[in-house]
Amino acid sequence: MNTAAKNADEYIQQFPPNVQAALKQLRSTIKTAAPKAEETISYMMPAYKYYGVLVYFAGYKNHIGFYPGAGGIEHFKKEISIYKNAKGSVQFPIDKVPLGLVKKIVQFRVKQNEEKAGLKKTTKLLLKK
């Protein structure tokens, strides 16, 4: 869609009912997998940030674009291989968004961002003392 949305609700409402349903399920799965993530609009699509960007998603007429970055794609390349994908993105059919896989990818991205932020190392050091 071409209209700039101010938030994820506005973004999702721009689509036909079948696409809205898929986007709502995807959004709910992301929020459950990363409850501390901030939901925002970036690059004109919903984005989730937690110590940096975790994932983006976008609706299209025939698919849902999911953007977990190169690290998320690489780590799950076997599971993602059945879908059209690129270095940092994957396209899911509107009627078959693999929510279990999305949840695993988001949780992986949370861990990646925590590690980059040094949270794991700090936690381990505190536990040793």
Read off the pLDDT of each residue in 18-30 and give the average, rounded to a whole number. 97
Q: 105 vs 7, 30, 67, 76, 93, CA distance in Å?
A: 23, 9, 10, 7, 17
Cα–Cα distance, 103 to 78 (Å, whole number): 16
Q: What is the pLDDT of residues 79-92, one digit of tens each?
A: 999 999 999 999 99
Any idea which fold 8-128 has?
Answer: Aspartate Aminotransferase, domain 1 (3.90.1150)
Quickly list DSSP for 28-44. HHHHHH-TTPEEEEETT
Confidence bin at 118 (pLDDT 50/70/90)? confident
Confidence bin at 10 (pLDDT 50/70/90)? very high
Both tokens of 19, joined, read: 């696409």
**Identity of the amino acid at 76:** F
